[in-house]
A and B are shown apart, each in its own frame.
Chain A
């Protein structure tokens, strides 16, 4: 047997086996890339849910499209809050809240199923979105306040305001949330004002007044 042939055979065989090992292991590589900015979910109503929505009991592909959320109450919105098209069928209403010199904030009105009403997990979810550490049940009373909604059979909303410790996402301002949420008509309703600290601080009194004066839809159509 010629030594050169043996070397050639061994080299080719090793190259074959190495090639196979590389092919088999390439699936474990972490990829880092950029893609065009993805617009908010809109394409497939049964496949997409808003970011705050709890998951459904079954794979979303098996479910029919969710119905459009109807409003069971009416409200009075400040004149300078501009209505926006909802981003998904689970969003009942959206408004752009002008910043008057500061960047605008956004009010989102969402209705979710009854199990979405746990105050601690909701507050911790929003705290996480602002980079704040989670709190425990004992901390909750100090951060939340009840609001009476006399027009809705004296329903009681939970009011919470949150502020990030530092500016987020390269913005020059700190981010803030003002949220009121309450159970009504079998759903938990969230009124979430999100935006720069200055805009949210100046608009939160109007939001609170809006929630306090909610009335059943049958009494008045919303503006």
Chain B
């Protein structure tokens, strides 16, 4: 029991705090430098949000850990802080400032985990005159099975990419079929099949006419990786065929299971809204005589059938639309200024940095003023005694 107590007490060590802070500085430096070659998304996932930063000099099944990842440091710091709160700090009014400062730091760490785990970044691409009720991820794909349930609604079953990156069967009570994943390629070059190409695995759909060459994923933000999944569909034990699916095919493919027509596609992950946005006009102004942009703006109409809202708004730089927990920023444009691209950010923890910084500031003020007050009292007492 005493060994456990010693271990718990070691968790509250100030040395551990300093080691974590030192490692955090190294991880931030490494992550910042790695962004040059790998881009922000890769660094965020593999350095800041991972437990170990690995160097793949060995086969993929045995990556060599080099330094702890941001997540491991943050968890250790959180436990260290909790241990300090439980074992080292004393509960009295004189320590109110210390409590507020450390509570604020704990809230900041918790908010970081909420952001890492729950925040969703996506894009909404709308043409002038077009309406969208969903945004799409630029990094994650999903395998979607869709059928027209009636004239007004489609039924969608969406399988996240984490379920099909490894070969194997996907079975679920919600799925009308069993899927057998034969291959997954995070990026590839897709082309029409030519004479001399080896036989492909796809037997159904347009994939039977295609060949592809796997490629390394491109980490650049502006590049769309051409994801390919080779999936066999089973209705019970009866194979319906094998399809080549890709997020760049442009249209879903069809199969029939149990007398029902389904569409199958790998597509960029969609996030649907109970409301829709219609792009009325996109404006792109440049400084006279130059190509330097001066003003981008999307005039939109927000339509929410649940609340009856139908209002016109303008989204432009530094003036995003915040609605239903999502923030829409003017991000880019395309097609000769007739298509607007809005960056959509949903982050349930977006308020925690503001709140925690306020609490930490308040705690520092309380701590400083209490020390100042005590110092003043001691000085007056000393002056009186003199």
Contact = CB atoms under 8 A, between A and B. Distances in A.
Contacts of A5: 86-87
A186 interface: no
A30 B157 contact: yes
B203 interface: yes
| Among A8, A30, A37, A65, residue most surrounded by chain B Cβ atoms (within 10 Å) | A30
B113 A20 contact: yes
Contact of B82 (A13, A19, A116): A13
Interface string B152-166: 111111111011000
Contact of A131 (B133, B149, B175, B259): B259
Nearest to A42: B130
Contacts of A142: none
B362 interface: no
Interface string A149-174: 00000000000000010111110000
A6 B159 CA distance: 42
Interface in B114-154: 114, 116-118, 125-127, 130, 133-134, 147-154
Given A23-B117, A27-B162, A169 B210 contact: no
B193 A115 contact: yes
Contacts of B114: 23
B204 interface: yes
Nearest to A88: B251
Q: Which of B117, B126, B156 has the most chain A CB atoms closer than 10 A to its own CB?
A: B117
A101 interface: no
A46 B336 CA distance: 13
Range for the number of chain A residues in contact with chain B: 35 or more
Interface string A1-27: 100011011101100110110111011
A51 B264 CA distance: 11
Contact of A125 (B125, B134, B191, B205): B205
Contacts of B254: 51, 128-129
A13 B255 contact: no
Interface string A61-78: 100010000000000000
B144 to A, nearest CB: 9
Contacts of B175: 30
B272 interface: yes
Contacts of B35: none
B152 A48 contact: no
A6 B5 contact: yes
Nearest to B146: A38
Contact of B9 (A1, A19, A55): A1
A103 to B, nearest CB: 14
Given A35-B154, A60-B248, A16 B75 contact: yes
A79 to B, nearest CB: 29
Contacts of A43: 126-127, 130
B330 interface: no
Interface string A36-65: 111001011011111111111101110001
A60 B248 CA distance: 6
A30 B163 contact: yes
B204 A125 contact: yes
Contact of A34 (B78, B154, B162): B154
Contacts of B117: 20, 22-24, 26
Contact of A28 (B157, B160, B248, B253): B160
A13 B191 CA distance: 52
A19 B190 contact: no
A192 to B, nearest CB: 13
A32 B87 contact: no
Contact of B162 (A28, A52, A134): A28
A141 B341 CA distance: 50
Contacts of B159: 30
A29 interface: yes
A121 B256 contact: no
Contact of A36 (B71, B153, B193): B153
Interface of A: 1, 5-6, 8-10, 12-13, 16-17, 19-20, 22-24, 26-38, 41, 43-44, 46-57, 59-61, 65, 113, 115-116, 118, 121, 124-125, 128-131, 134, 164, 166-170
Given A9-B11, A128-B254, 15 more contacts: A13-B82, A19-B113, A32-B156, A35-B134, A37-B150, A37-B153, A44-B125, A50-B251, A53-B251, A54-B192, A55-B250, A57-B190, A113-B192, A115-B209, A125-B206
8 contacts: A13-B82, A20-B117, A33-B272, A47-B250, A50-B251, A55-B248, A167-B259, A169-B148
Interface of B: 4-5, 8-9, 11, 71, 75, 78-79, 82-83, 86-87, 113-114, 116-118, 125-127, 130, 133-134, 147-160, 162-163, 172, 174-175, 190-193, 203-206, 208-210, 224, 226, 240-241, 246, 248-257, 259-261, 272, 335, 339
> Which 10 pairs of residues, A with B, have the shortest CB-CB distance?
A23-B117, A131-B256, A49-B250, A9-B86, A121-B208, A43-B130, A115-B192, A31-B158, A32-B174, A28-B162
